Structure 1
Amino acid sequence: MRTIWTPTLENFSGSKYEQLANAIGDAITRGELAPGSKLPPQRRLADALGVTLGTVTRAYTKAIYRGWVEARVGDGTYVRMAEPKSTGPLDLATCQQAVTDQAAFLGEVMSRMGRDPVRLAGLLDYHTANLEAQQETVLTFLARSGVDDFGGKLVFTHGAQQGLFAALAAICEPGDWVLHEAWCYPGLNRAAEALSLNLCGVSLLDDGLNLDELAACIDKHKPKAIYLTPNSQNPGCIGYSGAQRQRILALARAHDIIIIEDDVNYCTSQEWSAPIWQLAADAQSVVYLSSLSKRFAGGIRFGFMLLPARLQPRVNRIIHAHCWMVSPLLIEIGCELIRSGGIHQHRDAWIASLQQRFLTMAESLDLEAKSRGLNGRLTLPEGFRASNVIAALAAKGILARSLADFGGPANGIRFSLGRIPRGEEDEVFDRIQSTLTDVLNQGIAVV
């Protein structure tokens, strides 16, 4: 008798039917259930899992609603066939998750909210204060991730960029200095320019900042803040060591500097470490920023920040001046995604496999490379410009980004690996490798 697909429900959260529905989605994402394959008959799967027939029926219905599978009358339930490939370029220049089932999760959340008009009406007024139930949702989510509030204040934002701007404006005055990683998120430059702040980059090592250089910059500029991305440095693909984090925290405390810690960038559970906010454990020395942009989708402008209580009144005034308030409706959508498990995608294995493919490709070309989270960084030989490779890749329908855009070297390229569609990874890496081979063989270098 042929063995049927039987998932391990304990690997997933929620009720039994939610666990099974999420297991179906995970198996499809990992390729275990291929497009067009038939799911087990409901009664047989119920017997195999030791659950009721109703549980399997509800799970299959939820999977149908999410667009993963389709029911064929009299024939069973099948994994939906893959959508036709996009005719546009593959955007590996933008760092975000591949769009898989996010639309289905979002549609489910909005449909559920729409069926509760009383609840919905309560989100349509002006709110100048944060919402307690939604705050509790995010604080619980953070605590489960290993981030405690330590008596700090939670403030909602329209994405982490607004949180970064508000933090800088609350901490600094025009003309003050802010230190940052030498290869840095461009949004910091825009915020600093708008606030008339001076920036100084500190060079990066394999485990974080050059600490001697950091100490020298502190002595020279007397900065008010340091902006860092310790868990998944973008575009360097670096994770700060524990010793680095402790030393940076000690320097900041000794010189009365606030660390603005950006923990937006996705990294796998194996890569993630306790943030500096958690190490500080005092809600005094660090402002912690995060959002759903890299965990779910960039279009969900739902962010949040943990900050010292003394900064909250000024941060609130700055956000109020920007946009009057962060939309309560958007806040609730983000919180409902958290509650429903919509952002808890089991993608670590998939992302890790893309990272390994990227590193293997680079090794075959004898090129230096690093990968972390959604990104891969490639270093071309001295004398070669990333812009030439990026132009050649664009001609083959793949977009990538130069490290020079982040203040990095002109021979560095960043690829957003998370954007590679499942089932197309062989083709994508073949195109990248053949393009790199052509450019390197032709010797297109700086003249």
Structure 2
Amino acid sequence: MAVVPEQPTARWLARLPTQGGPLYVRLADALAAAVREGELQAGDQLPPQRTVADLLGVDLTTVTRAYAAARARGLIEGAVGRGTFVRSAAAADEAGRVDLSMLLPPPPQGMSLAGLLKETTAAILDRTDVARLMAYHPGGGSLGQRIAGAAWLAPVLGEVAAERVLVAPGAQAALAAVLALAPRGGALVTEPLVYPGVLALARQLGLQVVACPADAGGMDPEALARLCAQERPAAVYLTPTTHNPTAVTMGAERRRALAEAARAAGVWIVEDDPYARLFDAPLPALASLAPERTFHIATLSKCLSPGLRIAYLVPPKGPMAGPTAESLRAVGQMPAPLMTAVVTAWIREGAAEKLLAAVRREARARRALAAEVLPGAKGAAEGVHVWLDLPPAWDAARVHRLAQERGLSLVTADAFAAGPDHPNGLRIALGGPAKQAVLRAALEGVAGLVASSSTPRVVI
């Protein structure tokens, strides 16, 4: 192969692996890596295909196939008479403040979400009566949609009857429907730091939030048993896999102990489980350990795309199925038909698993990057966020100000506080920046912020 010239938009050719599949696929992979890591920017013009073929000493057809594959992944686009250009990212995170505050799945590695969505939507519209598609549909989803939901949940829940699965318009609607079943004024037990959406719902529904002590393994089962005896709560809220915000994943023994404590106290478990499918081998859900006592909620927004706004809700076995379905209907009426049809098609046809695998690859790469830049950060290798402990005396307001001065949006512990006694730290989301290079620079900014304020004399 010829020596690659030093012009910026041709340097990516040096990334071409010497082995690992057909040459056109390796070319497309090299281009994808250059875009992902920020070597190629949106709007960069690529060398003409014949130029690339001459530089590499390969047949023009190979390069044509590589460019076509990159176009199918959503990496490039062509303009007649002008050439081929790197596509603009959906989120222009290269300019202005970098958002490390919003929990998002990262862009799928080596796969075009836009292309997949266009293809599936077009197929649905071609084979479906649009008037019926866009009409009102049964709350909780059709049987076919519930069957797809049961298949999606199987790696976490095991085999579950499709009739038990309810399709909800997002996890927040599912949580609202479940918590609305609790008596007004009742107690909801959570960890000391908890997802802010639950705190907001508790306020709206008149529920009293009671913080249960937690340790490095998650909520303390013995403390939960004591609290249940004292408070007689309506429910306990748990996120067993990559807890938001502390990123703790409960082990199997901790899950069993919490399930048994709730069963002994006669308390409902609300299991919010948005991240389990990011794991190749997820631990058993609490709903599989205490199926008669657990409401299981799993959204696709945190492992595929937030724009899908689809979640699956599985009520406990027994008489709660009917009231849960009625509550969900009152809260959300029905999920959006087109998005539900897209998700159902993806699950049936295997596209959802391929998309999930692409998100997993990128999530692991970003988590490894975070481990390199912030070795003190905590979180699973598959996680889309990490937790960084801060000294108790560090003031959240000043942390925000210093972060803003460095062009960063961060979330501190106060946003998650269920009570006055809680750990201090930062939740750092890894999925927001479109490129790993942008994420690395942002994480280096966080490391600089922490290092600049590490002396005892500085209180932030």
**TM-score under structure 1 length normalisation:** 0.80
Distance (whole Å) between structure 2 residues aligned to residue 30 and residue 153 of structure 1: 43
Cα distance 1:274–1:78, how it changes in 2: closer, same or farther (>3 A)? Answer: farther
Question: What residue identity is the alignment partner of 1:336?
Answer: A
Alpha carbons of 1:38 and 1:383: their partners in 2 closer, same or farther (altered >3 Å)? farther
**Alignment pair present for 1:245 and 2:259:** no
Quote how far apart the aligned CAs of 1:179 are.
Answer: 1.4
Matched residue, 1:139: 150
Q: What amino acid sits opposite 2:121 in the alignment?
A: M
Deviates more, 1:83-92 or 1:302-311: 83-92
- Other-structure match for 2:275: 265
Shift of 1:144: 4.7
Instruction: Determine which of 298, 318, 343 is the counterpart of 2:306.
Output: 298
Note the aligned Cα RMSD (angstroms).
3.8
The one of 121, 128, 149 aligned to 2:131: 121
**Residues 437-446 or 211-220, more deviating:** 437-446
Long gaps (5+) in structure 1: 10-19, 42-52
Selected match of 2:71 from 40, 64, 71: 64
CA distance in 2, matches of 1:401, 1:32: 25
Structure 1 CA distance for aligned equivalents of residues 47 and 389 of structure 2: 41
Structure 1 residues 195 and 389: CA distance shift in structure 2, 3 A:
closer
Cα distance, 1:160 vs. partner? 0.8
Residue aligning to 2:355: 343
Q: Which amino acid aligns with 2:444?
A: D
**Partner residue, 1:155:** 166
What is the alpha-carbon distance in structure 2 between the residues aligned to residue 34 and residue 141 of structure 1?
Answer: 36
Q: CA deviation at 1:330?
A: 2.6
Contact kept, 8 Å, 2:271 with 2:296, in 1: the verdict is yes
Matches within 5 A, 1:2-17: 7=20
Structure 1 position 416 matched with structure 2 position 429: yes
- Bigger Cα displacement from structure 2, 134-143 vs 145-154: 145-154
C-alpha separation in 2, matches of 1:371 and 1:155: 30
**1:69-108 alignment, distance < 5 Å:** 69-70=76-77, 80=86, 83=89, 86-99=94-107, 101-108=112-119
Q: Which runs of 4+ in 1 moved over 6 A?
A: 1-5, 37-41, 71-74
Could you tell me how far apart the structure 2 residues matched to 1:181 and 1:261 are? 13
Cα offset, 1:305, TM superposition: 0.7
Sequence identity (%): 21
Residue 279 (str. 1) matches residue 279 (str. 2): no
Alpha-carbon distance between aligned partners in 2 of 1:445 and 1:165, rounded to the nearest angstrom: 39
Question: Matches of 1:121 and 1:388 in 2, distance apart?
Answer: 54
- After superposition, where does 1:247-396 map in structure 2 within 5 Å? 247-265=257-275, 268-269=278-279, 272-280=282-290, 283-308=291-316, 309-338=318-347, 339=349, 340-341=351-352, 343-363=355-375, 368-372=376-380, 373-396=383-406
Higher deviation after alignment, 345-354 or 64-73: 64-73
Aligned to 2:185: 175
For the residue of structure 2 that corresponds to 1:344, the secondary structure is helix
Cα 1:147/1:69, change in 2 over 3 Å: farther
Check conservation: 2:143, 2:162, Cα contact below 8 A: no
Give the C-alpha shift of residue 210 in structure 1. Answer: 1.5
C-alpha change, 1:218 and 1:268, in structure 2 (3 Å) is: same
CA 1:162–1:266 in structure 2 vs 1: closer, same or farther (change >3 Å)?
Answer: same
Q: Note closer, same or farther for the CA distance 1:248–1:25 as it changes in structure 2 (3 Å cut).
A: farther
Structure 2 portions without partners, runs of 5+? 3-15, 41-45, 54-60
Question: Separation in 2 of the partners of 1:360 and 1:25?
Answer: 23
> Structure 1 pair 4/33, CA: closer, same or farther in 2 (3 Å)?
farther
Compared CA separation, residues 305 and 441, structure 1 to 2 (3 A): same
- Asked if 2 retains the 8 angstrom alpha-carbon contact of 1:230 and 1:261, the reply is yes
Separation in 2 of the partners of 1:29 and 1:116? Answer: 38
Distance in 1 separating the partners of 2:155 and 2:171: 20
Contact 2:370 2:440 in 1 (8 A): no
> 1:15: which partner in 2?
none
SS of the residue 2:307 aligns to: coil
Q: TM-score, normalised by structure 2?
A: 0.78
Change (3 A) 1:201 1:148: farther
1:79-138 superposed Cα distances (whole Å, 9 cap, x missing partner): 9367575423111111112346433332332233233343x3332222234212222222
> How far apart in 2 are the matches of 1:66 and 1:355?
23
